[in-house]
Amino acid sequence: MKKLKLQNDSYKILLSDFKQWLDILGYAESSVYGMPIQLQEFFYWLECHGHSDLSKVTPKDIKKYYDALKQRANERRDGGLSKSYLNKHQNALRKFRNYLIQHNASTPLRIHLKYETNATEERTNILTQSEIKALFLATDYSNTRECIRIRDKALLVCLYSCGMRRNEAIQLDLKDILFDKQRIHIRKGKNYKERFVPLNRYNLRMLEDYMYDARPNFYKAAQSEALFIGTQGTRLCGVTVLDRVKTIANATGDKSIIEKNISPHTLRHSIATHLLQQGVPIESIKTFLGHSSLVSTQVYTHLLKTITDEDF
């Protein structure tokens, strides 16, 4: 869908400004890249159906677009778009509506769509606690270099134990690990909101092992303030973090883990679900994850209903 060409100049400007807005607010690389593509598809559909004025687009028009989207063929495999991908399109539209509101649009989009739900599909995005343990154990042999293996373990601490978004983890600096307070200071969360995340002694020890034993072995480590650095001495990028998570998953040799095709966000989903299952108040989980709204956290309440005790 990236090849769709827009003719409407106002749509082109909105698309460019929307992408810049996401980037300025500190959204993850995947969101800054993906949401504009999904919005571009919406604009293209509007053009094809004679809608040149966004202010005149009605909820009925948006529903027609969404129905057409559900009929669109999947470019990567047989069949239509997955329900999770359809939800991403909905999220892009809703985020674009927020953009319009913040920019004082006279008539922001009215979106009357229901999220797609599929218990089987959602369950595959959650790892069991035994699978999480397998990931941590796999860092003992996830790379031939010891410093990378120890960095892998520290990454899992941030992504799972601390429930961080990928972008939050890579933006951490050395000074953000507060050993004396047993906290991590996340300065660059979503929408640039700050929060503190608690650490137990076990997780602190793994971060300490990385910072003082492994990190100095990376090229130009002393010249960077970044907590996580790559082999070239620069701050680790999001693509590398995703690659390391998948490599760790493959290193487990566990078919069920490998088939889940996990990502950094899978680990965040997993810790949220595990905390909820253990009876942690949803308001506390909201603060832990850095959600702006309790509605975002309540998704895990629905998700927990699809998981049986045998899963854990």
Give the residue numbers annotated as catalytic, written as ranges: 165, 190, 265, 268, 291, 300
Nearest to 302 by CA among 271, 268, 276: 276
What distance in Å separates the CA atoms of residue 156 and residue 164, rounded to the nearest whole number?
10
DSSP labels, the chain: -TT-----HHHHHHHHHHHHHHHHTT--HHHHHHHHHHHHHHHHHHHHTT---GGG--HHHHHHHHHHHHHSBPSSSSSB--HHHHHHHHHHHHHHHHHHHHTT-SS------PPP--HHHHHTT---HHHHHHHHHHTTSSSSSHHHHHHHHHHHIIIIIT---HHHHHT-BGGGEETTTTEEEE-S-GGG--EEEE--HHHHHHHHHIIIIIGGGSTTGGG--BSSB-TTSSBPPHHHHHHHHHHHHHHH--HHHHHTT--HHHHHHHHHHHHHHTT--HHHHHHHHT-SSHHHHHHHHHHHTT--GGG-
**Which residue(s) pair with 186 in the sheet?**
195
Token pair 């009357």 is at which residue? 112
Q: State the CB neighbour count (10 A cutoff) for residue 114.
A: 7
